[in-house]
Structure 1
C-alpha cells in the first residue's frame, strides 16, 4: 500500500461555495495511487467541505441563504473578536464537515455525475484556505 500527502490552497471570494474538484482530480492524477481513498482535511474553524450539486448554480446560492437564515449574524454573540460574521462562521462549520473521504478508482474521484467537491467559506471577506490531502491505496 502506498500513500501520498499534499496541500491545496484555495482562494475564496467571501461567503459561498468554491468548487475544488478539478484541483483535487489533478492532484490525484499526479499521485501514484490508482485505487484508494482520498481524505481532505480543512485546517480552519470558519470554513468547511461539502459534496454537492455541480451544475445548477442556484443550488449553491440556496445553500448559502439557508445557512445564513439558520445561523444569523445579528445575534448577540460573545465571541466577536474578528467581526460580526466570526461566531456564525464557527457555528456553520460545526453543522457541516471539516473532512471528507472520497474513493479513488482508476485514478479518478468516485463522484456521481452531478457531484462536485466544494470548500464552503463561511466568512464574508475573501480568504486563502489551506487543505491537507492524503491518499492511500495501490
Structure 2
C-alpha cells in the first residue's frame, strides 16, 4: 500500500520554518491506514531544503539560520547570481541541508521524537511558495 502526493507549503521568506502541521494536513487521511511505513519528502527546489530538528524552542530556528549564514556567507564572490545575490549561496546551503527527508509511520502517525519537527529551510530572502512531493510506502 502506498501513495504519492504533491503539495505546496505556504509562502515564506528566508529562515527556518516549522512545517510539521502543514505536512500532516497535506497528507490528510492518507496516513491513517498505514500501520508500519515510511514517508519520504522531497522538495522540488534548489534554494530551499528540508530537515528534522528540535521543534519546541524558536531560538533553535534562529540559531540554524545564523550558523548556516556563517558557514556559507553571502559576502563570498559568488559567480551565479542570475536570480539575485542570494542565488548561488542558497544553492550551496541546500546542498548542505539536503532536499529529502524520510520519517517512519507507525499506526497512522508520523513517528517523530517528542521534540522533533519537520523544517523548511528557506534560503532566499524573498518569500517563495515551495512544492513538496510526499511518497508514502507501507502496510
Deviation at 1:28, TM superposition (A): 4.4
C-alpha distance in structure 2 between counterparts of 1:29 and 1:75, whole Å: 43
Structure 2: 5+ residue stretches without partners: none
Alignment of 1:9-28 (within 5 A): 9-28=8-27
C-alpha distance in structure 2 between counterparts of 1:134 and 1:34, whole Å: 15
Which 4+ residue blocks in structure 1 deviate beyond 4 angstroms? none
Question: Could you report, residue by residue, the CA deviation over 1:49-73 in whole angstroms, capped at 9, with x for unpaired residues?
Answer: 0101111001100110111111111
Deviation at 1:26, TM superposition (A): 3.1
Residue 130 (structure 2) aligns with: 129
Alignment of 1:11-50 (within 5 A): 11-31=10-30, 32-50=33-51
TM normalised by structure 2 equals 0.93
8 Å contact kept, 2:40–2:101: yes
- Report SS of the residue matched to 1:125: coil
TM normalised by structure 1 equals 0.94
Structure 1: 5+ residue stretches without partners: none
Residue 117 (structure 1) aligns with: 118
Question: Could you report, residue by residue, the CA deviation over 1:106-131 in whole angstroms, capped at 9, with x for unpaired residues?
Answer: 11111000000011101111000000
Deviation at 1:25, TM superposition (A): 2.4
8 Å contact kept, 2:13–2:126: yes
Residue 5 (structure 1) aligns with: 4
| Number of matched pairs | 137
8 Å contact kept, 1:38–1:133: yes
8 Å contact kept, 1:12–1:18: no
